[in-house]
Amino acid sequence: MIWNQCKPYLRLAFIGALLLALFACGSKTESVHGALIDVKSTSISETQAITVRTDDGRELTFRIGPKADQGVFSPGHLRQHMLEVSKVTVYYERLSDGTLEATKITD
């Protein structure tokens, strides 16, 4: 009822604001810092998943998402971090099914 009485540009502004709010809430990047304790790979050049023991003691497993640069963090490079116990920072998104998907890993 009231919707039909609104001017077209107000309807458009409302829809735009609604879409902006939905997309803003859709993907929030988080990060953790810690030591790698497991690396799962599908080949010598492709990492499938990693497990990190965070600085606060949690163990989190991350699926390596399509946004992550596979070339920079090959399974061998990540396993070297495990051997040296050098910590990494994992940037990730929490998917709707609860899966943690790594989007970036830094030394």
Q: What is the pTM of this model?
A: 0.72
- Please check the confidence at residue 14 and state whether its pLDDT lies above 80: no
User: Residue 84 — very low, low, confident or very high, per pLDDT cuts 50/70/90?
Assistant: very high
Q: CATH number of the domain at 60, please.
A: 2.40.50.140
Is residue 18 assigned to a domain? no
Is residue 3 assigned to a domain? no
Looking up tokens 């070339």 gives 71
Per the model's pLDDT, the better-predicted residue between 50 and 107 turns out to be 50
Domain containing residue 83 = 28-106
Distance (Å, rounded) from C-alpha 89 to C-alpha 73? 12
Instruction: State the total domains in the chain.
Output: 1
The predicted model gives 69-91 an average pLDDT of 87
Per the model's pLDDT, the better-predicted residue between 89 and 74 turns out to be 89
Is residue 1 assigned to a domain? no
Of 57, 16, 17, 65, whose CA–CA distance to 34 is shortest? Answer: 57
To the nearest 10°, the Cα dihedral for 94, 24, 56, 104? 70
Is residue 89 assigned to a domain? yes
CB 10 within 8 A of CB 2: no
Is residue 22 assigned to a domain? no
Is residue 19 assigned to a domain? no
Q: What is the pLDDT of residue 6?
A: 63
Is residue 10 assigned to a domain? no
